[in-house]
Amino acid sequence: MDYEAFFDSEIAGLHREGRYRVFTDLERQAGRFPYATHHSPAGQREVTVWCSNDYLGMGQHPVVVRAMHEAIERCGAGAGGTRNISGTNHYHVLLEQELADLHGKEAALIFSSGYVSNWAALGTLGARLPGCVIFSDEGNHASMIEGIRSSRAERQIFRHNDPEDLNRKLSLIEPGRAKLVAFESVYSMDGDIAPIDEICDVAEAHGALTYLDEVHAVGLYGVRGGGISERMGLAHRLDVIEGTLGKAFAVHGGYITGSSRLCDFVRSFASGFIFTTSLPPAVAAGAAASIRHLKESGVERARHQERVARVRQALDAADIPTLANRSHIVPVMVGDPVLCKAISDSLLDEFGIYVQPINYPTVPRGTERLRITPSPLHSNADIDHLVEALSTIWRRIGLHRQAAE
Ligand code: PMP
């Protein structure tokens, strides 16, 4: 086989469909979020970042940066091993305590990333619970899908955010079998929010475990940043709350929280937890500092929500089409991969604004979009600049369309 020719033809297919991914080379600067230096063959230039998952700008927060520096001074760079073999650092233990407390659970377990936490935890639960059937929301993230797949458990996909469909599907399964319902609180691309209480009602009625991914909600919702489950007073009804340390907490890593027995079970059987070097102590220290700060301070959350509302209002006033939702994610809908990329390129090249285009398979074909994520640190001038730039491009597209007709 001509391997190189095969790679070429597969990549050419992505180019043809307009969904070849181009990484934007950014240099973030401490204390300067949401501005960053963009490196390109044309040189370097400052840009405003409008698509970061560092939702609150905590990645640049002095409390977090200081905690990481201090941990490096005390412990050096790496963890020195897997959790089982010399790699459990005291900072990991403290971080797990912080996380269990955040969600009001007995225990927590940290993983290399949010992706790995879903893959490893669902993979282990699905594989080892006897005759397990996993009920998965059709909008679930790739990491959950991969975890469920690798567990080889029977999988039932229920309609997005539809407790009735879940109920129907659960009713068809023999009562004696283990069951687990996996879903998200805030869905990352549409920004819609799950009816957690109704899903818990249905799961409870059928004796199913509940597994909630709060990756896009932790740090952002709830009085202490415990996510939508905290805001709705539902954390106690969820058997597993999973989250990331890489988005609102703005460092790196993932975790699950739950009962001591459940966490001990995953800790003991999940190969994606056992056989990998643990997070650097400084990463654990930074994440713990970020969580602690956001438990006590609601300032960032309040300002974040205010900025989101302002961006939405400005886009609405300019007739830029967004998807309505009740979260902090502002999807500007384009509906075509090539156009989406062209708009993103214009924003970057002409206006110094960085918003990555979101194409299939991240979102369904025909729903390609710019996923805008306002932060507490975007100024009024930044918002005006973004909306003016989009309006200019929108007008131009309109003119192009008229010219073609
Ligand atoms: N779950 C969801 C819903 C996500 O969107 C993501 C990442 N985009 C993850 C899990 C994975 O988290 P991490 O980036 O920490 O690997």
Inter-residue long-range contacts of 173-179, CB under 8 Å, 24+ positions, other chains counted: 173/133, 173/206, 175/206, 175/207, 176/131, 177/130, 177/131, 177/132, 177/133, 178/129, 178/130, 178/131, 178/132, 178/133, 178/209, 179/132, 179/133, 179/134, 179/135, 179/203, 179/206, 179/207, 179/208, 179/209
Ligand 1 centroid distance, CA of 398 (Å): 35
Q: Is 50 exceeded by the pLDDT of residue 260? A: yes
Mean pLDDT calculated for residue range 93-97: 98
Q: Is 50 exceeded by the pLDDT of residue 145? A: yes
Both tokens of 170, joined, read 């659960």
- Residue minimizing CA distance to atom 8 of ligand 1: 188
Q: Give the pLDDT confidence of 48-82 residue by residue, as tens digits.
A: 999 999 999 999 999 999 999 999 999 999 999 99
Give yes or no for residue 114 CB within 6 A of ligand 1: yes
Give yes or no for residue 374 CB within 6 A of ligand 1: no
Q: Give the pLDDT confidence of 211-251 residue by residue, as tens digits.
A: 999 999 999 999 999 999 999 999 999 999 999 999 999 99
DSSP 149: H
Q: Is 70 exceeded by the pLDDT of residue 181? A: yes
Q: Where does 112-153 show beta strands of DSSP type E?
A: 133-137
Residue among 153, 120, 118, 157 nearest 135 (CA):
157
Catalytic residue of the set 105, 169, 179, 247: 247
Beta carbons within 10 angstroms of residue 130's beta carbon: 7
Q: What does DSSP say about strands 133-137 and 179-184: parallel, antiparallel, or unpaired?
A: parallel
Give yes or no for residue 161 CB within 6 A of ligand 1: no
Amino acid occupying residue 271: S
Amino acid occupying residue 146: E
Ligand 1 centroid distance, CA of 218 (Å): 12
CA atoms of 238 and 257, how far apart (whole Å)? 10
Residue among 52, 1, 12, 10 nearest 28 (CA):
52
In percent, the amount of the chain with pLDDT more than 70 equals: 98
DSSP 23-87: --EEEE-TT-TTEEEEEETTEEEEEEE-S-S-TTSGGG-HHHHHHHHHHHHHH-SS--SBTTTB-
169 is catalytic: no
Q: Give the pLDDT confidence of 265-315 residue by residue, as tens digits.
A: 999 999 999 999 999 999 999 999 999 999 999 999 999 999 999 999 999
To the nearest whole number, what is the mean pLDDT of the chain? 96
CA atoms of 376 and 299, how far apart (whole Å)? 9
Q: How confident is the model at residue 398 (pLDDT cuts 50, 70, 90)?
A: confident
Instruction: Phi first, then psi: give them for residue 258, nearest 5 degrees.
Output: 180, -160
Give yes or no for residue 371 CB within 6 A of ligand 1: no
Beta carbons within 10 angstroms of residue 170's beta carbon: 22
Give yes or no for residue 265 CB within 6 A of ligand 1: no
Query: Contact at 8 Å (CB) between 58 and 376?
Result: no
Both tokens of 286, joined, read 């930074």
Q: Of all atoms in ligand 1, which is nearest to the CA of residue 184? A: 3
Q: Respond yes or no on whether ipTM tops 0.95.
A: yes
Q: How confident is the model at residue 371 (pLDDT cuts 50, 70, 90)?
A: very high
The two most distant CA atoms of the chain are separated, in Å, by 68
- Identify the pLDDT of residue 18: 83
Q: Is 60 exceeded by the pLDDT of residue 403? A: no
- Residue minimizing CA distance to atom 3 of ligand 1: 141
- Identify the pLDDT of residue 19: 86
Rounded to 10 degrees, what is the CA torsion of 46, 52, 54, 58? 20
Q: What share of the chain is helix, strand, coil (3-state, %, to 5)?
A: 45, 20, 35
CA atoms 399, 400, 404, 405: torsion sign: negative
DSSP 306-330: HHHHHHHHHHHHTT--B---SSS-E
Ligand 1 centroid distance, CA of 356 (Å): 17
Classify residue 302 as exposed, middle or buried by CB count within 10 Å of its CB (0-12, 13-18, 19+). exposed
CA 399 to chain centre: 36
- Identify the pLDDT of residue 243: 98
Ligand 1 centroid distance, CA of 117 (Å): 9
348 to each of 36, 44, 219, 261, 398, how far by Cα in Å? 12, 12, 29, 50, 20
Tokens 């102590």 correspond to what residue?
281
